[in-house]
Amino acid sequence: MTASIRDIPFSRADGSATSLGEYTDKVLLIVNVASKCGFTRQYDGLEALYRSYRDQGLVVLGFPANDFGGQEPGTDGEIQEFCRLTYGVDFPVFAKIAVKGPRKHPLYQALIEAQPKAAFRPDSTLLTRLAGKGAAPSPAEVSWNFEKFLIDRQGNVVARYRSDTEPQDETIVAPVRRLLAT
């Protein structure tokens, strides 16, 4: 990872400090998550992906954010409990942060700068649906909950996927497998 991304501090749900430096030499899938979103069911797919590939070096990292329609209103403790009890989440879920706007966390600023465009599924209707709700995203922002950033073992942000790309879709799984093999 570049020093700037690896060294950006953020907090675990218990308030202790950490950074991506803790995950050096791992393949990372970073996801902004929310408990009350239409995409919340993706926790199942994220956990399945994590369990399938964690022994090979994949780590899924969840960053709760309340930036989209107030869909993550809980405290860090409530979010942890929800993830564990409702979806059996074992991958790390950190303290709530902002992923867009003027309070955007520096980690998300760096991720977006490194990968300014997100990949869409060919049949995606996400942007149309968001525009219909008056929430058309800026290209410089995360568009909604459950957007995903894939980072290789060297710390390069290699891909960005919009919210409607399921965690177990081959557009994510194939690059994960390839990155884990290197």
Q: Could you tell me the residue ranges of all domains in the chain?
A: 3-169
pLDDT confidence of residue 72: 95
Report which listed range, 10-19, 118-127, 131-140, is most confident: 10-19
Stated pTM of the model: 0.90
Point out the catalytic residue in the list 6, 10, 36, 37.
37
Query: In the chain, where does DSSP find H-type helix?
Result: 3-6, 42-53, 76-87, 106-114, 126-132, 170-180
Condensed to tens digits (0 to 9), the pLDDT of residues 67-102 reads: 998 999 999 999 999 999 999 999 999 999 999 999
Q: Note if 37 is an active site residue.
A: yes
Give the residue-averaged pLDDT of 25-33: 97
Phi, psi values for residue 31, rounded to 5°:
-135, 130
Q: Which residue has the tokens 């919009």?
A: 162
| CA 82 distance to own-chain centroid | 17
Instruction: Dig out the tokens for 142 from the structure.
Output: 């995360």
Q: Which residue has the tokens 């926790």?
A: 43
pLDDT confidence of residue 27: 98
Please give the class, per CATH, of domain 3-169: alpha beta
- Is-contact 144 130, C-beta < 8 A? yes
